[in-house]
Structure 1
Amino acid sequence: MAASAAPVQLSLVDLLLTEEEAAELQRLLAELERKYERHAHILKHGTIDPFWHDSMNLNLVRSHILAAKRAITALCESKGIPVPEAVNRPTPPEYPPEFCVVCRPHHS
């Protein structure tokens, strides 16, 4: 008796997206995760930027997170597929202009 192959299960996403669209969705989700990791890194370690407070970089990464969420949501809504849970992850707060993780003399 020959072993039968396991049935292939296709998700709704697999059925409604082209290969290119699925790849784009995966790229956007990976980018979103990288942005969250970058934000966490800056919040923990600060930056070495001599010209800007850490808040400027934190707020910049926050805006990248928002842009990635909008792009993911737009792609999913245009194809009628559910928006991934990653988009519901809380967006980091905005920081005041003078915020520094580790204040340096040139930032006082």
Structure 2
Amino acid sequence: MSRIDTAVESGSVKLLRFAPSGRRLWIVVGRDSEYWTDPELGFCSCKDFYFSSLTKGEPCYHLKSVHKAMLDDKFVAFEFSDDEYTAFLQALAQDSASQLLR
């Protein structure tokens, strides 16, 4: 089984929906951390995105996992209030920064 299939099958792909705005964040739980992805923008917060994906043009496995999960309609969804959105983004940014500095 590929890493992509494993991520999808294990429930590592998560959709966070914020109401009432309808904002959506996709998270993939990786080996070392949780990675924020934006499949519409082709963005991931993992190191591979910065060091390989941007130069080679090939999406990282986190983005591929989100795309597969969307196609297969197989992801874990969570609902949050819009009041929690800013705090959630701040936590994501701090986590992403600490991962990149390792």
Assess same fold via TM > 0.5: no
Output the TM-score relative to the length of structure 2.
Answer: 0.27
Identify, as 1 or 2, the structure richer in strand. 2
Output the TM-score relative to the length of structure 1.
Answer: 0.26
